Each structure stands twice: as C-alpha cells, then as structure tokens.
C-alpha cells in the first residue's frame, strides 16, 4: 500500500528537476526553433514581391471629342413693329411656317398715305423750277460778257479823246465824258458778276430744296413701309402674331412685338469643350450628334470655336451646324456630340491599373524585361465599360494590374500574367 505514494513522489521530483534545474535546456530548444522560423521568414522577405501584370499592345482608336450639349435655332428673333398704330391683319398662329418677306402684321395706315402724297407733290413742284433756275445762269453770264465789252469800248474812246485833246482837236469835256463812260461800264461789269453769282446761288438753293423734298418723300415712304411687318427670314412662328385691334407702341416696353420667329434649318449643336481638349477640335471637323429621343445620328460640321473661355467653367463654346429640312429637331433638345479628331495609339486597361506617383501624376506602373518597376505617366483618352483607353505608353508593355500600390519605381519584382492568375 506504501508503494503508490513513493512512486508519485518520484515523478513529482523529476518534473520539478527539469522545470527548475534544466530550464535553460528547454528554453534553449524553444529559442532555436524561433531562430529557425525567423530565418525562414527573412528568406521569404528577401525574395522578390510578386505582382500581377497584363501584357498590352497599343491599338489605333478613334479619339473623337465627346461632349453633351443642346440644339439651338440658328436664328431666333422677336420681330418688332417700328411705328405705332392698331393692327388690322388677321393673326397667324404659332407653329406656322412663314416664308421670307411674308406679312406678319399690318398696321392701320391712318394719314400716312396722304402725307406721302403731299411730300411727293412738293418734290414735283420744286423740281419743276429747275429748268428756269438753270437757264438764268447763261443769261447772267451773257450780260457779264456784254458789260465787259462795254468796258473795253469805253477805254478805247477814252484813249482817242486823250490823243485828240493833246493835238487840240478835242475838248476837256469830251475827255471827261470818256472817263465817265469807263466808270459806268465797270459798274455794269460788277452788276453783271453779281447777277451771275445770284443765278448760281439760286440754282444751289433749288438743289438743296429738292434734296430736302426728296428726304421728306423718303421719310413718308419709310413710314408707309413700316405699316407692314414682314418676316426677315423663313422660319417657324414660336408665338402668335399680334391680335387684330391691338395697339402697337414702339416706345412702350414690350408694346411693339409682332411675333417670335425661329429658323430651324440648319440647326446648331452647341456644347462646351474643356481646355484640356480644346486643341483637338478644329473648325470644319465632322460632328455627329444623337438626341435622347432618337437613335438616328445627325451629321454636320463644326462652324465656330470660341477664342475666349467662360470665366466660371473655363470651357470653350463650340458650335456645329446640321441640316434639318424636315424640322424634326427642336430648339433646346439635349444632344450627345462626337467631334472627329485624329486617331491615336492607345492601350485598353482596367481603370484599377491607374495610380499616382509621389508628385500626383496619373499613370501606370510597368515591369521591364529585367523585372524592375517603372512609372509611366499616361493620358486618359476615353472611359468605356470595358476599361480606359490610355495614351503615352510604349507599343507593347507589361502593366501591373494587381499590386501596383505596394511597389515603387526601381524595385525588382516577380510577375505573374493576369491570364495565368485567373
């Protein structure tokens, strides 16, 4: 019975011996195992990091500039009356197509035709005086010539009287009479010259009166012409024309509006290009548009590209004209626009492959033949459901698609192709 306690005491003594006396041996073995594990982990860390790459080859793609804009009438005008009066024409209803020169509104003429007739009669009367005024000039010039001849004759008589007086054949009275004749003839010349100037001034005054009368006729005719408000171009009425009996008052606010007219053929496509793509848009380039309510594309050309950016959005206005013979396009519709640009080499890669370097430049990390990581800046050309099209990469390159955020340029890595990883 005493054998079992003795054996138990022996076992406890052995265990306590190893825990107290030979503890260093046990911990030494454990430390050796930890060192082996640490050495294995260091070996794994020393090995190159593995990343997933995709071999990509550049393709030529259509790099059309894609924008969202709206349709806009090539012309829109609120046709205004230029004279006052009551409308006496039957109104045209909105939606009607009108031709260029068609009467939109007609105003009560009142006394305007009578004033025109009066101005025309006065002009005819003044013009009738022109022959008489014109004939007075030659008559006055003839009298001037006659007076000048009389001066010459008087001088001849004076010379003759003076010679005879020296020889004693003429009296002093005759000499004095000859000199008086010269002075009288010279006075006649001056009077004739005044007559010529008066005749010419009369003709000039008459011509001025004629021009004044012509201006009066023109003003009266213009006032009569303003009685009919006509369409300046062919288009569609966006509003009813002025109602019969309404009063047109050009000087009153909104008191002289006859109608609003739109020219919808051709139609303008208007959008705004960001400054990053402005150099890719050229005047004359082909533009394709697609409105949300139709699957049929519309084709035109770029006709305008703004030189000044919008101060708020820093974008540039671009306009394209497209034919609209059936007036199917309406003003103000939303339209997706694609403007042709030169094709470019690009790589189709997943958007997740894009990353930033320390300077914040957008690009991708690639792996060279030596396994060294490189960072290459790229240009985002197009974003699609299949991925992003990137420019600026070599013709063929291995792009890191998994693990690019955990490596830096200059680091050596191991690679696994994406197809193999899948």
Q: Quick one: 139 and 159 in the same domain? A: yes
In a domain, 232, yes or no: no
* Cα–Cα dist 90/325, whole Å: 28
The strand pairing partners of 274, in sequence order, are 315
Which of 42-46, 218-222, 297-301, 407-411 comes out lowest in average pLDDT? Answer: 42-46
Supply the pLDDT for residue 112: 94
Mean pLDDT across 67-95 = 93
pLDDT at residue 35 tops 50: no
The total number of structural domains in the chain stands at 3
Beta strand 97-98 with 235-237: parallel, antiparallel or unpaired? Answer: antiparallel
pLDDT at residue 122 tops 70: yes
Q: Quick one: 286 and 314 in the same domain? A: yes
CB atoms within 10 A of CB 87: 21
Q: Residue 403 has what DSSP assignment?
A: S
- CB of 87 within 8 A of CB of 245? yes
Q: Quick one: 275 and 179 in the same domain? A: no
Q: Quick one: 310 and 382 in the same domain? A: no
Q: Quick one: 117 and 221 in the same domain? A: yes
Q: Quick one: 154 and 209 in the same domain? A: yes
Residue 368: which CATH number? Answer: 2.40.420.20
pLDDT at residue 32 tops 50: no
Supply the pLDDT for residue 420: 56
In a domain, 219, yes or no: yes
User: What does the buried/exposed string (b/e) look like for 128-153 if buried means 16 or more CB atoms within 10 Å of the residue's CB?
Assistant: eeeeebeebbeebbebbeebbebbee
Supply the pLDDT for residue 254: 63
pLDDT bin (cut points 50, 70, 90) of residue 61 is confident
Supply the pLDDT for residue 337: 93
The three-state secondary structure class of 305 is strand
pLDDT bin (cut points 50, 70, 90) of residue 105 is very high
pLDDT bin (cut points 50, 70, 90) of residue 31 is very low
What does the mean pLDDT of the chain come to? 85
Mean pLDDT across 225-232 = 94
In a domain, 237, yes or no: no
- CB of 399 within 8 A of CB of 417? no
CB atoms within 10 A of CB 203: 18
Beta strand 103-106 with 228-230: parallel, antiparallel or unpaired? Answer: antiparallel
pLDDT bin (cut points 50, 70, 90) of residue 1 is very low
Supply the pLDDT for residue 37: 42
In a domain, 277, yes or no: yes
In a domain, 135, yes or no: yes
Mean pLDDT across 160-167 = 75
Supply the pLDDT for residue 392: 87
pLDDT at residue 28 tops 80: no
Mean pLDDT across 298-303 = 94
Residue 301: which CATH number? Answer: 2.40.30.170
Last residue of a domain, one of 225, 242, 277: 225
Mean pLDDT across 212-232 = 95
Last residue of a domain, one of 200, 225, 250: 225
Supply the pLDDT for residue 70: 95
Supply the pLDDT for residue 17: 56
Q: Quick one: 305 and 404 in the same domain? A: no
Supply the pLDDT for residue 250: 84
Last residue of a domain, one of 323, 339, 355: 339
* Cα–Cα dist 241/228, whole Å: 13
pLDDT bin (cut points 50, 70, 90) of residue 165 is confident
pLDDT bin (cut points 50, 70, 90) of residue 29 is very low
Residue-range definition of the domain harbouring residue 404: 50-61+344-421
Of residues 305 and 4, the one with the higher pLDDT is 305
Q: Quick one: 271 and 304 in the same domain? A: yes
Q: Quick one: 300 and 376 in the same domain? A: no
Of residues 19 and 138, the one with the higher pLDDT is 138
Q: Quick one: 221 and 298 in the same domain? A: no
In 115-255, at which residue ranges do the beta strands (DSSP E only) sit? 228-230, 235-237, 247-248
In a domain, 231, yes or no: no
* Cα–Cα dist 408/44, whole Å: 19
Supply the pLDDT for residue 185: 82
In a domain, 194, yes or no: yes
pLDDT at residue 272 tops 90: yes
Q: Quick one: 181 and 124 in the same domain? A: yes
pLDDT at residue 8 tops 70: no
pLDDT at residue 11 tops 70: no
Q: Quick one: 310 and 288 in the same domain? A: yes
In 231-293, at which residue ranges do the beta strands (DSSP E only) sit? 235-237, 247-248, 257-274, 286-291
pTM for the full predicted model: 0.57
Mean pLDDT across 306-326 = 94
In a domain, 97, yes or no: no
**Residue of 233, 262, 240, 231 whose CA lies nearest to 94:** 240
Q: What is the pLDDT of residues 339-364, one digit of tens each?
A: 987 777 889 999 999 999 989 899 99
Mean pLDDT across 169-198 = 81
Of residues 242 and 155, the one with the higher pLDDT is 242
């Amino acid at each position: 019975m005493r054998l079992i306690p003795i054996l138990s005491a022996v076992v406890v003594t052995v265990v306590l011996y190893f825990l107290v006396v030979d503890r260093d041996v046990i911990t030494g073995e454990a430390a050796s195992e930890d060192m082996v594990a640490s050495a294995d982990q260091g070996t794994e860390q020393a090995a190159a990091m593995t990343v997933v790459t995709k071999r990509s080859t550049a393709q030529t793609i259509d790099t059309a500039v894609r924008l969202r804009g709206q349709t806009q009438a090539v012309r829109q005008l609120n046709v205004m009356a230029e004279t006052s009066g009551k409308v006496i024409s039957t109104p045209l209803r909105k939606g009607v197509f009108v031709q260029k020169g068609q009467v939109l509104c007609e105003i009560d003429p009142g006394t305007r035709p009578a004033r025109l007739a009066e101005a025309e009669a006065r002009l005819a009367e003044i013009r009738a005086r022109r022959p008489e005024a014109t004939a007075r000039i030659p008559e006055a010039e003839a009298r001037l010539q006659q007076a000048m001849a009389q001066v010459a004759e008087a001088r001849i008589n004076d010379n003759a009287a003076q010679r005879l007086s020296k020889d004693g054949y003429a009296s002093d009275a005759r000499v004095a009479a000859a000199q008086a004749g010269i002075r009288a003839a010279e006075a006649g010349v001056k009077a004739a010259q005044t007559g010529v100037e008066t005749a010419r001034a009369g003709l000039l005054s008459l011509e001025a009166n004629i021009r004044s009368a012509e201006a009066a006729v023109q003003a009266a005719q213009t006032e009569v012409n303003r009685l009919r408000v006509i369409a300046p171009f062919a288009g569609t009425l966006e509003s009813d024309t002025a109602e019969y009996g309404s009063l047109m008052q050009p000087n009153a606010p909104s008191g002289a509006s006859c109608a609003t007219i739109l020219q919808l053929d051709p139609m303008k496509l208007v959008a705004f290009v960001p400054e990053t793509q402005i150099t890719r848009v050229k005047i004359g380039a082909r533009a394709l548009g697609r409105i949300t309510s139709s699957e049929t594309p519309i084709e035109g050309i770029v006709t305008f590209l703004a030189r000044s950016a919008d101060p708020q959005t820093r974008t540039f206005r671009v306009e394209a004209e497209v034919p609209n013979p059936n007036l199917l396009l309406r003003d103000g519709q939303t339209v997706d626009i694609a403007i042709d640009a030169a094709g470019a080499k690009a790589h189709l890669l997943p958007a997740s492959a894009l990353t930033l370097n320390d300077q914040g430049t957008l690009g991708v990390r690639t792996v060279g033949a030596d396994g060294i990581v490189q960072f290459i800046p790229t240009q985002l050309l197009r974003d699609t459901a299949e991925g992003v099209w990137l420019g600026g990469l070599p013709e063929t390159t291995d792009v890191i698609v998994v693990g690019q955020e955990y490596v830096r340029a200059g680091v050596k890595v191991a690679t696994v192709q994406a197809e193999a990883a899948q």
